[in-house]
């Protein structure tokens, strides 16, 4: 195994820490809770745990407003507890990835407190400060992701400060070398504690136009849409200068890699393929010096049809620079859950797709048991996104509800009152119940697919080959080390006969989303409605048994 095998061929599992496991009864998940569930993660078969922010925070945006980059919020635990978690994870062969939030701090961070104290303060230029427009309003037309202008007036100094999100989240000035040096030291702080990598929050937005020009209007904007989309973010996202910063981050992280294990950077980037792949950082010498895994979110946004996904995968594979590692994501803490988007039957197809495509898959906690979005009444809403834009359906609470562990009180998540309400089906739809159903449950399917991915070299590190099939069937092969496995996914509500030409000689079903599917194929292969299968040859199975 090479030093980068764990992130190139492994599986990343995202934990939203408030919702994974509470160890002290306060209704909020914590580090000791994650530590108590490590054996579950090992049994699932994942390789790395990505933990959303756990730093000290006033929690205006639930941890993405950070008041100290180099400590642990008491709600989640302590630095000693974090060290114990990393040690226990490593002893089990699990890697630990942290969220790195470079775009902004909390307005209570000591840096910003200093910065706003006076125009002459030495940290004034650590943030984006601008004089008012001639009419006294904001300096330009930039808008916040969470609603309203991206500028707030500070009456005591008479200038506006910029914030891409809440006014409690002032943006750092990444054009200032002192800011870069301080933030790179944050990376080193956690790398010295054994962290294996970082998921970098809103990476494309961290540097802004030096002239602070107005963004142009969006010609495709339709009244009734989120007002955020009224303007094209030409001058405050995805600027060319960000690539230099990405390369600098990569060098910081690479300094902690060795021949046994490389550290990884994962970029949060909601960009089309043509722009996304630029963040791999292909330089003039043909080396990749950017983030190793620019997050590919296209499966979250695309229409759930075989032909659309077939085109999407082909386009992505064609856009990747030489030597780049692909990756795929079905869901995260900001988007509706896959089972809510496509339904439980199709969520099984989605699981097979995610775990058989070429590249690093990322799982979102709870998707492996088919958790769905939970409707949150207006008086229980926690998410500032929803509070700032009520009635637009932008709230992220529904996909952040507590993990459903068992039929015990509060689904085994806490002995207290959960910070968000549970799904109505938690008594029957949980890890414990699905663990007893080793054939038909979603959890059983995930465990089987992950085990198959580990066992079969063609799935683990083989190439991708698109295959032609009927309109409602997505077909592709994975080839590697003398193996050829065929994946057939029926997106249709009708049975789908498969051409024998698609199948290997002596075909055998290595996995199916249908628990009733027999292992050996007798006669023509006909997929059931919404069935997916992984087909190998008898010799392939025999080889993995030895």
Which active-site residues does the annotation give? 201, 268
Q: Which residue has tokens 């695309």?
A: 302
What Cα–Cα distance (Å) separates residue 289 from each residue in 297, 420, 428? 21, 41, 47
Residues 6+ apart with CB under 8 A from 546: none
Residues 6+ apart with CB under 8 A from 42: 92, 93, 94
Instruction: At 443, give phi and psi (nearest 5°).
Output: -60, -40
Dihedral through CA 176, CA 182, CA 185, CA 186, nearest 10?
-110
Q: Where are the alpha helices (DSSP H) in 242-383?
A: 242-254, 273-276, 298-301, 306-319, 338-342, 344-356
User: Based on the number of CB atoms within 10 Å of its own CB, is 421 exposed (0-12), middle (13-18) or buried (19 or more)?
Assistant: middle
CA distance 324 to 454: 21
| Residue 279 DSSP class | G
Partners of 265 in beta bridges: 198
CB-CB neighbours of 134 under 10 Å: 6
Per the CB < 8 A criterion, the answer to whether 393 and 364 are in contact is no
Which helix (H) or strand (E) element contains residue 435?
Answer: helix 431-435
Return the closest-CA partner of residue 266 out of 488, 447, 491, 10.
Answer: 10
| Residue 278 DSSP class | G
Which helix (H) or strand (E) element contains residue 477?
Answer: strand 473-480
| Residue 39 DSSP class | H
CA distance 334 to 331: 8
């Amino acid at each position: 195994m090479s030093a980068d095998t764990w992130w190139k061929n492994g599986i990343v599992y995202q934990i939203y820490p408030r919702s994974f496991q509470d160890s002290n009864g306060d209704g909020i998940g914590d580090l000791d809770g994650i530590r108590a569930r490590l054996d579950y993660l090992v049994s699932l078969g994942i390789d790395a745990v990505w933990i959303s922010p756990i730093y000290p925070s006033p929690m205006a945006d639930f941890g993405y407003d950070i008041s100290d980059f180099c400590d642990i919020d008491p709600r989640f635990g302590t630095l000693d507890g974090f060290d114990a978690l990393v040690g226990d994870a490593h002893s089990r062969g699990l890697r630990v990835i942290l969220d790195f939030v470079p775009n902004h701090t909390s307005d209570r961070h000591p840096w910003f407190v200093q910065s706003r104290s006076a125009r002459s303060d030495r940290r004034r230029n650590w943030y984006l400060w601008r004089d008012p427009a001639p009419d006294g309003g904001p300096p330009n037309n930039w808008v916040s992701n969470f609603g309203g202008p991206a500028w707030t007036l500070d009456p005591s100094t008479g200038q506006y400060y910029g914030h891409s999100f809440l006014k409690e989240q002032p943006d750092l000035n990444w054009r200032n070398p002192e800011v870069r040096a301080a933030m790179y030291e944050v990376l080193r702080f956690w790398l010295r504690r054994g962290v294996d990598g970082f998921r970098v929050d809103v990476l494309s937005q961290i540097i802004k136009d030096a002239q602070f020009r107005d963004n142009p209007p969006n010609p495709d904007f339709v009244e009734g849409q989120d007002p955020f989309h009224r303007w094209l973010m030409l001058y405050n996202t995805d600027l060319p200068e960000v690539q230099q910063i990405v390369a600098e981050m990569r060098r910081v992280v690479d300094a902690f890699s060795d021949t046994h294990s490389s550290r990884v950077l994962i970029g949060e980037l909601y960009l089309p393929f043509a722009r996304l792949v630029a963040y791999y950082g292909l330089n003039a010498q043909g080396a990749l010096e950017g983030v190793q895994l620019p997050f590919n979110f296209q499966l979250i946004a695309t229409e759930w049809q075989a032909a659309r996904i077939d085109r999407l995968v082909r386009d992505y594979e064609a856009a990747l620079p030489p030597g780049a590692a692909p990756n795929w994501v079905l869901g995260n803490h900001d988007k509706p859950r896959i089972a809510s988007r496509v339904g439980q039957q199709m969520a099984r197809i989605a699981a097979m797709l995610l775990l058989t495509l070429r590249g690093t898959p990322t799982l979102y906690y709870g998707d492996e048991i088919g958790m769905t979005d939970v409707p949150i009444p207006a008086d229980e809403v926690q998410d500032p996104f929803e509070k700032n834009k009520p009635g637009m359906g932008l709230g992220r609470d529904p996909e952040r509800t507590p993990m459903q562990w068992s039929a015990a009180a509060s689904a085994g998540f806490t002995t207290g009152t959960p910070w968000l309400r549970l799904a109505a089906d938690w008594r029957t739809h949980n890890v414990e119940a699905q663990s007893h159903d080793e054939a038909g449950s979603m959890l059983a399917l995930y465990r089987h697919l992950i085990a198959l991915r580990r066992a079969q070299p063609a799935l683990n590190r083989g190439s991708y080959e698109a295959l032609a099939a009927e309109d409602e069937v997505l077909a592709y092969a994975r080839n590697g080390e003398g193996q050829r496995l065929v994946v057939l996914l029926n997106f249709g509500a009708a049975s789908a006969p498969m051409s024998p030409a698609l199948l290997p000689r002596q075909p055998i079903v290595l996995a199916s989303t249908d628990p009733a599917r027999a292992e050996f194929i007798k006669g023509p292969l006909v997929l059931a409605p919404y069935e997916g299968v992984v087909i190998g040859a008898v010799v392939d199975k025999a080889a993995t048994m030895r």
